[in-house]
Chain A
Amino acid sequence: MQEDLSSGRIRKAPENFLNKDGIKTVLAEAKHGRRDFIRSAFVAAAAGAAVPAALAQGNPVPTEGGDPNILNLPEHSKGLGQGVAAEGYGKPSKFEANVQRRQSPGLTQTTQASVSFAPLQSLFGIITPSGLHFERHHQGWWDIDPSKHRLMINGMVKANKVFTMDEIMRLPSVSRIHFIECGANTAVEWGNVAVPTVQYTHGMVSCSEFTGVPLITLLELAGADLKNGKFVLAEGADGSSMTRTIPMELIKSGEVFVAYPEQGYPLRLIVPGVQGVSWVKYLRRIEVGDKPYAAKDEAVHYIDLQPSGLHRQYTNIQECKSVVTTPSGGQVLLDKGFYNITGLAWSGRGKVKRVDVSVDGGRNWRTARLEGPVQNKALTRFNLDWVWDGKPAIIQSRAMDDTGYVQPTYKQLRAVRGTRSIYHNNAIQSWLVQESGEVKNVQVS
């Protein structure tokens, strides 16, 4: 018990965890129609010998009349702390060591063509720290000397151009906050539950403030044919020399820009609302053309198989999506009582308009608070007050964007696209909170 006191949490001794009256009540209630889901959920949990653990009081007064963390002044209250610039580039507290991006075991055979997932369960607000931003590399990553990096513009232009980084950084720049999501985010869940936590289900989304030059500026500098040049090819400088086709219309809107980011340093294409594979890293070349390019990642991968056997090609927009980040899979609620349900919503078509949250598996919904400012094609944080009564609950979130599009259920998505599409799974996510307090990734029928 002594050890538990250090965090201010205390749990009852195991023999007190089982509350037989509670079990009876839940089962009795569960017999009435609409709470059937709770019965099935509870029975499943009970079958697993789950104890309704989370009945302990959060922060009790210890028998000695006070919390030793208060009564015994710690070192940091009685000594001299560290000086400035002890770290030239500050690092997180050592107590944050669990907050890491991670690979999903068995997903890929190599680390160079692979992915690491952002720890959404531990992040606040909407900005992803650069060091926790999800990674998706197709052929390994490089740290490129910016003084040797060049950007070329060619194709349907009056003059083929080359720019140094010095020159690009002289041009008028914009700073914008946008989400980036891999087209394959949540891919492993198309057919059934496959991974335990929000890090692995949804961790291929991140959000940063990017600074750089609108691509339209560079195209104008080269005298691009903006009328007949309907497509642009973006090409990376790394071994894979990743290529992707971008519509000129989107570039003319002024939304697409070349930025100086942490990933893809020193130059990366920013294509707001479009899947991450189009945000070409180590950008070395932009070609203006009149036809699409059918690059490898437009003709072999990043194509969406439909039940008809046809693949959808050039599926670029990340449609409206949301997920509750806490409470979420792999976590455990320590007590009954008040909780803040929080999560992230985003849309590749514009701004998030509204997010609704259900705690009964989608039967009833309440509208969550959006934390402003709500920005175009950026992550949006939502919060909802919730008092947990200690009974099983299924938490979901459902986002709507400013086009009126509402995030679909798995049932709706599968009815159209089947289960083998791999890409663009934006279905509503369900988290089952069991009586034990343990939260699990589930899908509901």
Chain B
Amino acid sequence: MFRFRKAVLAAALLAVAGLAGAQGASKWPGVGRDATPKEVAAWDIDVRPDFKGLPAGSGSVAKGQDVWEGKCAHCHGIFGESGEVFSPLVGGTTAEDIKTGRVAKLTDSSFPGRTTLMKVPTVSTLWDYINRAMPWTAPKSLSTEEVYAVTAFLLNLGGIVPDDFVLSDKNIADVQKRMPNRNGMTTDHAMWPGKEFGKGAKPDTKNVACMKDCVPEAKVASFLPDYARNAHGNLAEQNRLVGAQHGVDTTRPEGKPGAAAPAAQAKPAAAPKQDAAGADNKAAQAMLQKHSCTACHAMNSKLVGPSFQDIAKKHAGKVDYLAGKIKAGGSGVWGPIPMPAQSLSEADAKTIAAWLASSAGK
């Protein structure tokens, strides 16, 4: 009874707030309703650099390592160093950077790549993003403790916090003071569409619209090397069949007769043959996309996991085995990086397994 009365009271208060609040309500009556606190809590998950929005909690480096090896390492590498799927997260920062708040390697153009820890100025960004979008194939599945823990582990890999560290809402502001690139940002530019940043800065280039004898001469300083001629596929097939210009046939060396797409090619692309095997193949390929298998597996080269062709060769005919493996995940068959269990239907798993077992390698 008490609970009921309280609920009614809360509802009444909300209604009053709504009336007082929305001057728009009179202008557009009947459109929209007040969100309940429960609804706001479910969606309002962002964490700002001043830690507004950060839920109370904590997580240790040690716990983070466990989570990492199960849920993160297969894309980011055991030490966050892998660049096979995404850019590396860790590397390129030093103890000196932690003191200065500026990552020195960012001025070294010979240093290959830029890791997340080299760039990110705000620890809140890491926490917020891991919480909202990781792991990649199952976002928002980590508990608050796991998010703290994974963040702590990542910071530990970068030497920002020690091995025995427990990251929490109480000490995260202190960690912010150790972020290697915390002083590495500038908003002194003219590309923010408001007054908050850039303080009236003018655009940083000042070309003038000269019309005659503007430059002494133009020399070609950069062009694609010959070996890259066909690297983007046959450009003849990437242009309309008719027009003022046709696409260059890049399957032939430059300047050889027939470099232009010959008019004889003016035929519509032939419809692919739709035999039974082709249909199975297509269904399976659609499944691979749908279930993001291709995030880690490529058709004929190793990515994070083995190629489909290699799997097909090794396990030809073993439909049930493969379907089981797809659903349960595993490690050790192809290397140390584990494949997480996949939440797909039995039927989809069977479709993919049947395709792998019969035709993927061919």
Nearest CB on B from A282, distance (A): 13
Nearest CB on B from A277, distance (A): 13
In the complex, which of the residues B33, B186, B192, B216 contacts A316, with contact meaning CB atoms closer than 8 Å?
B192
Of chain A, the residue at the smallest CB distance from B185 is: A313
Number of A-B contacts (CB under 8 A): 433
Query: CB-defined interface of B164-205 with A at 8 Å, one 1/0 digit per residue?
Result: 000000000000000001001111111111111100000111
Query: CB-defined interface of A32-71 with B at 8 Å, one 1/0 digit per residue?
Result: 0111110011001100111101000000000000000000
Interface of chain A residues 398 through 437 with chain B (CB within 8 A):
398, 400, 405-409, 412-413, 416-420, 424, 430, 432, 436-437
Number of interface residues of A (CB under 8 A): 163
Whether B218 contacts A37 by the Cβ 8 Å rule is yes
For the complex of A and B, the 8 pairs showing the least CB-CB separation, nearest first, are: A158-B21, A361-B218, A247-B194, A7-B263, A50-B255, A3-B264, A221-B24, A159-B21
A374 within 8 A of B: no
Given A53-B260, A223-B21, A407-B192 contact (CB < 8 Å):
no
List 30 contacting pairs A-B, 8 Å CB cutoff, sorted by A: A4-B263, A37-B217, A40-B220, A98-B269, A105-B231, A109-B85, A113-B136, A139-B139, A152-B35, A160-B35, A161-B22, A162-B32, A197-B238, A221-B31, A250-B193, A294-B122, A299-B185, A300-B129, A303-B119, A311-B184, A312-B187, A315-B191, A327-B244, A331-B247, A331-B248, A334-B244, A367-B211, A405-B203, A407-B207, A445-B219
Whether B31 contacts A171 by the Cβ 8 Å rule is yes
Of chain B, the residue at the smallest CB distance from A403 is: B203
Cα separation A408 to B206 with both chains bound (whole Å): 7
With most chain A CB atoms within 10 A of its CB, the pick from B43, B220, B231, B263 is B220
Q: Which of B148-156, B289-297, B328-336 contacts the other chain?
A: B289-297
Q: Write out the residue numbers on chain A whose beta carbons fall within 8 Å of the beta carbon of B181.
A: 311
Given A293-B48, A445-B219, A221-B28 contact (CB < 8 Å):
yes
Given A48-B255, A140-B292, A299-B120 contact (CB < 8 Å):
yes
Of chain A, the residue at the smallest CB distance from B235 is: A330
Cα separation A409 to B206 with both chains bound (whole Å): 10
B142 within 8 A of A: no
Whether A221 contacts B217 by the Cβ 8 Å rule is no
Q: Write out the residue numbers on chain A whose beta carbons fall within 8 Å of the beta carbon of B240.
A: 96, 98-99, 122
Whether A249 contacts B193 by the Cβ 8 Å rule is yes
Of chain B, the residue at the smallest CB distance from A5 is: B263
Of chain A, the residue at the smallest CB distance from B35 is: A160
In the complex, which of the residues A111, A194, A241, A292 contacts B133, with contact meaning CB atoms closer than 8 Å?
A241
In the complex, which of the residues A233, A287, A333, A420 contacts B109, with contact meaning CB atoms closer than 8 Å?
A420
Query: CB-defined interface of A360-382 with B at 8 Å, one 1/0 digit per residue?
Result: 11111111000000000000000
In the complex, which of the residues A37, A98, A223 contacts B237, with contact meaning CB atoms closer than 8 Å?
A98
Q: Which of B99-107, B272-280, B313-321 contacts the other chain?
A: B99-107
With most chain B CB atoms within 10 A of its CB, the pick from A250, A311, A441 is A311
Q: Which of B4-12, B61-69, B221-229, B345-353 contacts the other chain?
A: B221-229
Of chain B, the residue at the smallest CB distance from A109 is: B85
With most chain A CB atoms within 10 A of its CB, the pick from B50, B240, B247 is B240
Q: Write out the residue numbers on chain A whose beta carbons fall within 8 Å of the beta carbon of B241.
A: 7, 95, 98
Cα separation A95 to B136 with both chains bound (whole Å): 39
Cα separation A407 to B205 with both chains bound (whole Å): 8
Interface of chain A residues 159 through 179 with chain B (CB within 8 A):
159-163, 167, 170-171
Cα separation A295 to B130 with both chains bound (whole Å): 11
Of chain B, the residue at the smallest CB distance from A102 is: B238
Whether A109 contacts B303 by the Cβ 8 Å rule is yes
Q: Write out the residue numbers on chain B whose beta carbons fall within 8 Å of the beta carbon of A292.
A: 49, 196
A438 within 8 A of B: yes
Nearest CB on B from A250, distance (A): 5
B1 within 8 A of A: no
Whether B24 contacts A331 by the Cβ 8 Å rule is no
Whether A240 contacts B139 by the Cβ 8 Å rule is yes
Whether A159 contacts B17 by the Cβ 8 Å rule is yes
A186 within 8 A of B: no
Nearest CB on A from B87, distance (A): 9
Q: Write out the residue numbers on chain A whose beta carbons fall within 8 Å of the beta carbon of B114.
A: 305
In the complex, which of the residues B22, B191, B226 contacts A312, with contact meaning CB atoms closer than 8 Å?
B191
Q: Write out the residue numbers on chain B whose beta carbons fall within 8 Å of the beta carbon of A298.
A: 125
Number of interface residues of B (CB under 8 A): 127
Nearest CB on B from A6, distance (A): 6
Cα separation A339 to B243 with both chains bound (whole Å): 11
In the complex, which of the residues B192, B221, B238, B256 contacts A119, with contact meaning CB atoms closer than 8 Å?
B238
Of chain B, the residue at the smallest CB distance from A439 is: B245
With most chain B CB atoms within 10 A of its CB, the pick from A41, A195, A406 is A406
With most chain A CB atoms within 10 A of its CB, the pick from B85, B190, B207, B235 is B207
Nearest CB on A from B33, distance (A): 6
Whether A4 contacts B32 by the Cβ 8 Å rule is no
Of chain B, the residue at the smallest CB distance from A138 is: B133
Cα separation A355 to B172 with both chains bound (whole Å): 52
A332 within 8 A of B: yes
Q: Write out the residue numbers on chain B whose beta carbons fall within 8 Å of the beta carbon of A19.
A: none
Nearest CB on A from B258, distance (A): 9
Cα separation A90 to B129 with both chains bound (whole Å): 41
Whether A33 contacts B217 by the Cβ 8 Å rule is yes
A228 within 8 A of B: no
Of chain A, the residue at the smallest CB distance from B42 is: A152
Interface of chain B residues 249 through 306 with chain A (CB within 8 A):
250, 253-257, 259-264, 266, 268-269, 289, 292, 294-295, 303
Nearest CB on A from B95, distance (A): 18
Whether B194 contacts A248 by the Cβ 8 Å rule is yes
Whether B136 contacts A139 by the Cβ 8 Å rule is yes
Whether B34 contacts A161 by the Cβ 8 Å rule is yes
Whether A315 contacts B189 by the Cβ 8 Å rule is yes
Whether A331 contacts B237 by the Cβ 8 Å rule is no
Given A220-B27, A291-B48, A247-B86 contact (CB < 8 Å):
no
Whether B220 contacts A339 by the Cβ 8 Å rule is no
B55 within 8 A of A: no
Query: CB-defined interface of A9-43 with B at 8 Å, one 1/0 digit per residue?
Result: 10100100100000000000000011111001100
Q: Write out the residue numbers on chain B whose beta carbons fall within 8 Å of the beta carbon of A363.
A: 213-218
Q: Write out the residue numbers on chain B whose beta carbons fall within 8 Å of the beta carbon of A405.
A: 203
Interface of chain A residues 72 through 129 with chain B (CB within 8 A):
94-100, 102, 104-105, 109-113, 119, 121-122
Whether A312 contacts B189 by the Cβ 8 Å rule is yes
A322 within 8 A of B: no
Nearest CB on A from B158, distance (A): 13
With most chain B CB atoms within 10 A of its CB, the pick from A122, A295, A326, A348 is A295
B116 within 8 A of A: yes
Nearest CB on A from B268, distance (A): 4
Given A235-B46, A247-B194, A445-B218, A154-B260 contact (CB < 8 Å):
no
Query: CB-defined interface of B108-133 with A at 8 Å, one 1/0 digit per residue?
Result: 01000010100111101100110011
Q: Write out the residue numbers on chain B whose beta carbons fall within 8 Å of the beta carbon of A130.
A: none
In the complex, which of the residues A98, A171, A273, A412 contacts B207, with contact meaning CB atoms closer than 8 Å?
A412
Whether A221 contacts B207 by the Cβ 8 Å rule is no
Nearest CB on B from A54, distance (A): 8
